[in-house]
């Protein structure tokens, strides 16, 4: 009898749902996911995996490996939450479904001679944990990589579907303090520089393509009404459909901040706060294989209009080096959008549990489909030998 990965997920159902609910109840933000990573590591050890915590010099990253062979199937597990919102992006579901897929593949790995590598990847929401792990070699031995992301209403699994590239940065204006009533002319108002800049950015928005995005907020802009602010700090991000367009749009946005400094006499400094997120490349064969299993779970993929989502993910960085998939698994009946309190509530419901178990089974089935197709397996292993280690 051939290994039944669906049955293996069912066998682990209680533990997988327990992991998801535990993560949801104890959300931790980027690079602070200590309890979350420990919970995942404990589950993977209990399944017989060799676990390395603190992988790649990142305290909340981990790897868990099982099996031997020319093919290594990488499964990415995210577990960071959103500040103030908790698991409003469903990373508790991602973590448990990826763990479920990895655990379910053990017998198949023994049968068909391949290796499973679960990668616990911190800081997806901000910080680019996967890019840091890519730079430090965690994906060097991974032939293909996969994960599934929860979302509302519809399953998405088409070769042309992608995400936006994204760059994030901090802007600091420095001026000169003065008494706001007694001698305001002696001051250089750093908060005014921020205001001028944001007006310029707002006007710029009408001159950029509709699929480009600029967003940000003022983190600090003064202390007292009777003191001319000597410093203001803003955090901004820029998104474009292709990574190649990021630099040009970022330069235009930075020019708006330089204009604010020029208009007020303040100085301005820019600091990149995290690695750039690249646009996602869903591997055509792998995503088609994944989609072929959706009907078994009563699911039908719905094409994304234009093929582009305005979300961004550091899984895009991995997909520029490793053949990867990042399909969306629907929380059926849920309409709340991610990154909201409403979606946080939905991420620990029966609909979320169903999506978790289905995603685990779908990813495991996709891995088996590859492992048992000699031609495709040979093609991916050959590609692994010649591919670059880093994104271009």
What value, to the nearest 5°, has the Cα angle with vertex 238 and ends 388 and 345? 95
Task: State pLDDT tens for residues 317-364.
Answer: 999 999 999 999 999 999 999 999 999 999 999 999 999 999 999 999
What are the start and end residues of each CATH 3.40.630.10 domain in the chain?
5-162+280-386
The whole-number average pLDDT for the span 126-138 is 97
Whether the predicted model's global pTM rises above the 0.85 cut: yes
171 pLDDT above the threshold of 90: yes
Task: State pLDDT tens for residues 362-390.
Answer: 999 999 999 999 999 999 999 999 888 77
Report the C-alpha gap between 167 and 240 in whole angstroms.
Answer: 9
Phi and psi (nearest 5°) for 53? Answer: -90, 155
The whole-number average pLDDT for the span 196-203 is 98
CATH topology of domain 5-162+280-386: Aminopeptidase (3.40.630)
153 pLDDT above the threshold of 90: no
Shortest CA distance to 239 belongs to which of 258, 212, 272, 264? 212
Shortest CA distance to 119 belongs to which of 374, 373, 322? 322
Give the residue carrying structure tokens 């094409």: 303
Report the C-alpha gap between 228 and 245 in whole angstroms.
Answer: 38
Q: What average pLDDT does the chain have?
A: 96
User: According to the model, what pLDDT value does residue 101 have?
Assistant: 98
**pLDDT > 70: percent of the chain:** 99
Pick the CATH number of 165-272 from 3.30.70.360, 3.40.50.1370, 3.30.420.140, 3.40.50.720: 3.30.70.360
User: According to the model, what pLDDT value does residue 44 have?
Assistant: 98
Report the C-alpha gap between 322 and 238 in whole angstroms.
Answer: 25
Phi and psi (nearest 5°) for 72? Answer: -120, 115
Tokens of 255: 């020019």
The whole-number average pLDDT for the span 51-66 is 98
User: According to the model, what pLDDT value does residue 307 have?
Assistant: 65
Task: State pLDDT tens for residues 237-280.
Answer: 999 999 999 999 999 999 999 999 999 999 999 999 999 999 99
**pLDDT > 90: percent of the chain:** 94
pLDDT band (50, 70, 90) for residue 145: very high
Neighbour count for residue 7 (Cβ, 10 Å):
12
Output 254 or 303, whichever has higher pLDDT: 254
The whole-number average pLDDT for the span 185-209 is 97
Report the C-alpha gap between 238 and 148 in whole angstroms.
Answer: 25
Q: SS3 for 82?
A: strand
What are the start and end residues of each CATH 3.30.70.360 domain in the chain?
165-272
């Amino acid at each position: 009898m051939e290994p039944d990965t669906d049955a293996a997920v069912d066998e682990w159902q209680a533990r997988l749902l327990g992991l998801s609910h535990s993560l949801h109840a104890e959300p931790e933000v980027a690079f602070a996911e200590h309890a979350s990573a420990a919970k995942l590591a404990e589950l993977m050890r209990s399944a017989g995996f060799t676990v390395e915590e603190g992988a790649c010099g990142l305290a909340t990253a981990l790897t868990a490996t099982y099996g031997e062979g020319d093919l290594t199937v990488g499964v990415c597990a995210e577990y960071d939450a959103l500040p103030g919102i908790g698991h409003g992006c469903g990373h508790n579901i991602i973590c448990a479904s990826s763990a479920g897929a990895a655990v379910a593949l053990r017998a198949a790995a023994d049968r068909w001679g391949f290796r499973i590598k679960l990668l616990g990847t911190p800081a997806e929401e901000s910080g680019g944990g996967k890019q840091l792990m890519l730079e430090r070699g965690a994906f060097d031995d991974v032939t293909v990589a996969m994960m599934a992301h929860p979302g509302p209403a519809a399953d998405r699994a088409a070769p042309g579907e992608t995400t936006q590239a994204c760059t994030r940065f901090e802007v600091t204006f420095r001026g000169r303090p003065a008494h706001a009533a007694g001698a305001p002319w002696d001051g250089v108002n750093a908060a005014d520089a921020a205001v001028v800049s944001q007006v310029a950015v707002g006007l710029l928005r009408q001159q950029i393509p509709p699929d480009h995005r600029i967003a940000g907020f003022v983190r600090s802009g003064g202390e007292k009404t009777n003191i001319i602010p000597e410093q203001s700090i803003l955090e901004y991000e820029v998104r474009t459909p292709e990574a190649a367009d990021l630099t040009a749009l970022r330069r235009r946005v930075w020019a708006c901040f330089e204009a604010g400094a020029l208009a007020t006499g303040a100085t301005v400094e820019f600091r990149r706060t995290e690695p750039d997120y690249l646009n996602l490349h869903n591997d055509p064969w792998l995503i088609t294989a994944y989609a072929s299993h959706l009907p078994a779970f009563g699911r039908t993929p719905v094409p994304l209009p234009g093929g582009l989502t305005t979300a961004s993910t550091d899984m895009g960085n991995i997909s520029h080096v490793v053949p990867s998939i990042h399909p969306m698994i629907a929380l059926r009946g849920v309409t709340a959008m991610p990154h909201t309190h409403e979606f946080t509530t939905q991420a620990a419901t029966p609909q979320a549990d169903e999506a978790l178990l289905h995603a685990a089974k779908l990813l495991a089935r996709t891995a088996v489909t590859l492992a048992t197709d000699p031609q495709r397996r040979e093609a991916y292993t050959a590609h692994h030998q010649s591919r670059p280690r880093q994104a271009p």
